[in-house]
A and B are shown apart, each in its own frame.
Chain A
Amino acid sequence: MNVTAEELLKNSIIPPSHRTMGAEQSADVEHKHLDLGSTVVPSPVKQKARMDDIVVVAQGTQSLRNIHNDPDVIKLQEIPTFQPLLKGILSGQTSPSSSKLEKLDSQNVLQLCLRYQGHLHQCAEAVAFDQNALVKRIKEMDLSVEALFSIMQERQKRYAKYAEQIQKVNEMSVTLRRIQMGIDQTVPLMEKLNSLLPESEQLEPFTMKLEKETK
């Protein structure tokens, strides 16, 4: 029956303190709950209310806990308060209090950027200056190396000529040695021959002399 279903639902869903609602409201609530009930409890209308179906909301029997001793609660309280990231947009509101969102101060940001730009410029200039100085030094080095190289090449050519001429000394000594050897070999033979000749035709003993007149 409808009455029993209504009573059942009233007892279970609506807490006892709310039974003093206005007639209209209660009727609305009942209708709503009836709709709910029609989907939730598809039982036949003639079901009687049993003791098991009645749910009573009463005061709890738990003792009051001292919340300030709980370490978790203390930790929660230690969390600092903060503003939401997107200020001015409160969830649930159709239009925020002021359409202005949090923005940076443009002038200061501009100054910061300009300072950074100037810093970069100075650094780049310093580096470029040093590089150009290096380039100049390289050019100078190249010129001096070329000059040195040409000097050394000239010197090497001259000394090659000198050395070649000095080598003649060596050749001369070789020739002289050969002459000496030849003379040493031939002079005894000549003397021998000379001794075999009759005394009237003997030549004077052989000596090497400097000829002063070569005519």
Chain B
Amino acid sequence: MASPEPQPRFGQSVKGLLSEKVSCCSGDVIALTRQVLKGSRSHELLGQAARNMVMQEDAILHSEDSLRKMAIITTHLQYQQEAIQRNVEHSKNLQDQLTHLLK
């Protein structure tokens, strides 16, 4: 942390020196935090995780599509099930009809 010695610049007021010191310190703190963030590799890890997630977006959309199709298929199956049930019941009547006809 290079802090410039203020003695050579005694022409300035103490206020000027103070503001200069403050700006210097704040710059140093900013550099320090940047180094800490870079050293912790948090950005890289989180970036990688986000990229993986984005690649799954395609899979998620495909699944959603399949689920919607499945919903449609269930309605079809429902219709078919009802039709089969009705006709199975009707087949009994059919037997009676046939016997009646053949009498």
By a beta-carbon cutoff of 8 Å, the part of chain A in contact with chain B is: 85-86, 89, 91, 94-96, 99, 101, 103, 113, 116-121, 123-125, 127-128, 131-132, 134-135, 138-139, 141-142, 145-146, 148-149, 152-153, 155-156, 159-160, 162-163, 166-167, 169-170, 172-173, 176-177, 179-180, 183, 207-210
Contacts and interface: CB of A to CB of B under 8 A. Distances in A.
A94 B10 CA distance: 8
Contact of A145 (B35, B63, B84): B63
Contacts of A89: 6-7, 14, 17
Given A128-B46, A149-B70, A166-B87, A117 B81 contact: no
B30 interface: no
A183 B101 contact: yes
Interface in B67-103: 67, 69-70, 73-74, 76-77, 80-81, 83-84, 87-88, 90-91, 93-94, 97-98, 100-103
Contacts, number: 139
B7 A95 contact: yes
Contacts of B73: 152-153, 156
A176 to B, nearest CB: 5
Interface residues of B, number: 55
A152 B91 contact: no
Specify the main secondary structure of chain B where it touches its partner: helix
A142 B62 CA distance: 8
A141 B90 contact: no
Contact of B5 (A99, A113, A176): A99
A99 to B, nearest CB: 6
Nearest to B58: A142
Nearest to B91: A169
Given A124-B45, A153-B73, A176-B98, A116 B36 contact: yes
A159 B77 contact: yes
A215 B39 CA distance: 99
A137 B36 CA distance: 33
B42 interface: yes
Contacts of A132: 49, 52
Contacts of A127: 45-46, 49
A170 B87 contact: yes
A191 to B, nearest CB: 16
B84 A135 contact: no
19 contacts: A85-B18, A85-B21, A89-B7, A99-B7, A120-B36, A124-B41, A124-B43, A124-B46, A131-B49, A134-B53, A135-B56, A139-B56, A141-B63, A159-B80, A166-B84, A167-B87, A169-B90, A176-B98, A180-B101
